[in-house]
């Protein structure tokens, strides 16, 4: 078999992998990025395509422009199940053309020296002395297997987790997930018959009947094009996602012309805290494969970028030290958890709570502003649901007269705070991981009992 050697092998060129490549390019390392897709389809995966502007600012990444940008976003409108309450959350963002933007980022990385092989799949890891030392890959253009030896592998295979799932179980980054910690999501992008009235706003419709454990969305891509779809919780034995789509699409997007469809498709969204560790000897896992999406709204492109940035930073440091062990790469976890992971843990609990609410609870909660829109924004931006908010909510709920899951809100806020505290005390080295992980699991078990 042909053998080649690189410093870094990046597997997957989606938002996570291409961001890592972009930040690593031109830094004196020999880098290979591979993706199973042909170049023209890189970045093309089922997605709502909405990304907050802040992520680009925080990471020094270029804004989408030209064909990469389909609509500037000014905020999100959130609708209660009975449609009687509309909340508006202000915030700048972009509705992007994901393939165009991803190919731009990857193209810039390639221009600055990163080698890119499309139509090439990582088949299996090369493992030696407990270290990941590369991968056997298959190049579909030349129909040949190649052994790629590298000091480091950055695993960015998306929700398929197709590389890290082949690692032995004793390597912590092989950790699997519970299907209930996912949403199954499906979307169509199509032209509309009428002009969209306020294309600057993303619309999110919460309804446990039409999208149990998730929501419907209507994300404009200009005045006459829209990305419309829904998520439902995985592992619950619900009917297929298509059944829901076919049954309810007219409730949310009556104006779409399905004869003028541009693209359709579905995929999984992880809705949990990140992998307990994103690194092990010789490997960093990023993006959906590392469960980096936001547990409450399912958006994962911004946090995939954060994880790519953190991976690049610690990879550069590892090369400076000449040490690719889990201890050396550990700072990836610290970097990611500080920037997003701790908030995810807190929002995982919030998500578990929200998914148990009935439509009546949500109608009531939104109408009476048990939580106000700014509190929801604050919670989904920082992961903090203030206890003062929960206190106020208790006073509102006191007038409710019937027992409700909403009564548990104060407990929920406390647990969210506690789990964030645990992430603030994230282990400083791998040897403390097992203990910490057991504590986090214990807290989640306890929380589930409280809200059951």
For ligand PGT, the binding residues (CB under 6 A) are: 48, 50, 52, 54-55, 76, 89, 91, 93, 183, 185, 204, 206, 213-215, 217, 231, 269, 271, 294, 296-299, 302, 351, 354-355, 362, 365-366, 370-371, 376-377, 380-381
Q: Rounded to the nearest 5°, which phi and psi values hold at 119?
A: 45, 35
User: What does DSSP say about strands 201-205 and 216-220: parallel, antiparallel, or unpaired?
Assistant: antiparallel
Does position 298 interact with ligand FDA (CB under 6 A)? The reply is yes
> For ligand FDA, which residue of 9, 269, 279, 444 counts as binding (CB under 6 A)?
269
User: What does DSSP say about strands 115-117 and 31-34: parallel, antiparallel, or unpaired?
Assistant: parallel
Stated as kind and residue range, the H or E segment containing 326 is: helix 326-329
Minimum distance from CB of 197 to ligand FDA (Å)?
Answer: 20
Binding range to ligand FDA, per CB under 6 A, among 23-31, 246-254, 265-273, 384-392: 265-273
Token pair of 299 as six digits: 């958006």
52 touches, from ligand PGT, ligand FDA, none (C-beta below 5 to 8 Å by class): ligand PGT
* Nearer to ligand PGT among residue 109 and residue 406 (C-beta): 406
Q: Is 322 left (phi over 0), alpha (psi -120 to 50) or beta?
A: left
* Nearer to ligand PGT among residue 4 and residue 89 (C-beta): 89
> Which CA distances in Å does 216 have to 373, 377, 385?
18, 18, 24
Asked whether the beta carbons of 54 and 47 are under 8 A apart, the reply is: no
> For ligand FDA, which residue of 24, 122, 342, 409 counts as binding (CB under 6 A)?
122
Number of residues that bind ligand FDA (CB under 6 A): 44
Token pair of 221 as six digits: 């891509």
Binding range to ligand FDA, per CB under 6 A, among 2-10, 28-36, 105-113, 359-367: 28-36
- The CA distance from 316 to 25, in Å, is 11
Does position 134 interact with ligand FDA (CB under 6 A)? The reply is no
Q: How far is CA 60 from the centre of its chain?
A: 19
192 touches, from ligand PGT, ligand FDA, none (C-beta below 5 to 8 Å by class): none
* Nearer to ligand FDA among residue 34 and residue 389 (C-beta): 34
Rounded to the nearest 5 degrees, what angle is found at the Cα of 230, between the Cα atoms of 297 and 261? Answer: 125
CB atoms near residue 59 (< 10 Å): 17
Token pair of 362 as six digits: 């949500």
Residue numbers of the site for ligand FDA (CB under 6 A)?
Answer: 11-17, 34-37, 42, 45-51, 121-122, 156-158, 160, 162-163, 185-187, 229, 266-267, 269, 287-289, 293, 298-302, 304
């Amino acid at each position: 078999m042909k053998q080649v050697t690189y410093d870094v092998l990046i597997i997957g060129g989606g938002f996570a992998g291409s961001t890592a490549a972009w930040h690593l390019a031109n830094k004196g390392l020999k880098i290979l990025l591979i993706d199973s897709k042909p170049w023209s389809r890189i970045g093309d995966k089922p997605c709502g395509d909405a990304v907050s502007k802040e992520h680009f600012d925080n990471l020094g990444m270029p804004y989408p422009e030209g064909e990469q940008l389909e609509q500037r976003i000014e905020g999100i409108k959130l609708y209660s199940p009975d449609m009687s309450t509309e909340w508006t959350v202000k915030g700048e963002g972009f509705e992007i053309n994901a393939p165009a933007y991803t190919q731009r980022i990857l193209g810039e990385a390639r221009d600055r020296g990163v080698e890119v092989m499309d139509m090439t799949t990582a088949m299996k890891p090369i493992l030696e002395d407990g270290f990941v030392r590369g991968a056997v890959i298959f190049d579909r253009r030349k129909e040949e297997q190649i052994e790629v030896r590298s000091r480091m592998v950055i695993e960015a295979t998306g929700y398929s987790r197709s590389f890290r799932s082949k690692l032995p179980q004793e390597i912590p980054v092989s950790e699997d997930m519970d299907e209930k910690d996912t949403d199954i999501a499906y979307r169509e992008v199509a032209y509309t018959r009428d002009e969209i009235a306020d294309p600057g706003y993303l619309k999110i419709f919460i309804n446990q009947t039409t999208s149990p454990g998730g929501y419907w969305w209507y994300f404009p891509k200009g005045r006459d094009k829209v990305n419309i779809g829904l998520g439902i919780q995985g592992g619950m034995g619900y009917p297929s996602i298509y059944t829901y789509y076919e049954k309810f699409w007219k409730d949310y997007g009556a104006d779409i012309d399905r004869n003028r469809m541009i693209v359709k498709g579905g995929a999984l969204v992880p809705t949990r805290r990140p992998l307990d560790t994103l690194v092990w000897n010789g490997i960093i896992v990023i993006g959906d494969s590392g469960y980096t999406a936001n547990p409450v709204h399912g958006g994962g492109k911004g946090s995939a970028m954060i994880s790519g940035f953190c991976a690049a930073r610690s990879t550069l440091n590892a090369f400076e030290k000449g040490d690719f062990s889990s201890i050396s790469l550990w700072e990836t976890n610290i970097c990611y958890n500080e920037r997003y992971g701790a908030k995810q843990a807190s929002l995982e609990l919030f998500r578990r709570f929200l998914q148990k609410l009935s439509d009546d609870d949500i109608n009531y909660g939104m109408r009476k502003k048990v939580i106000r829109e700014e509190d929801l924004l604050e919670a989904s931006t920082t992961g903090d649901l203030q206890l003062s908010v929960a206190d106020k909510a208790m006073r509102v709920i006191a007038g409710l007269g019937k027992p409700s899951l909403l009564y548990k809100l104060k407990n929920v806020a406390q647990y969210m705070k506690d789990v964030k505290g645990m992430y603030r005390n994230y282990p400083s080295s791998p040897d403390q991981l097992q203990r910490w992980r057991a504590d986090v699991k214990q807290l989640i078990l306890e929380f589930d009992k409280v809200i059951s």
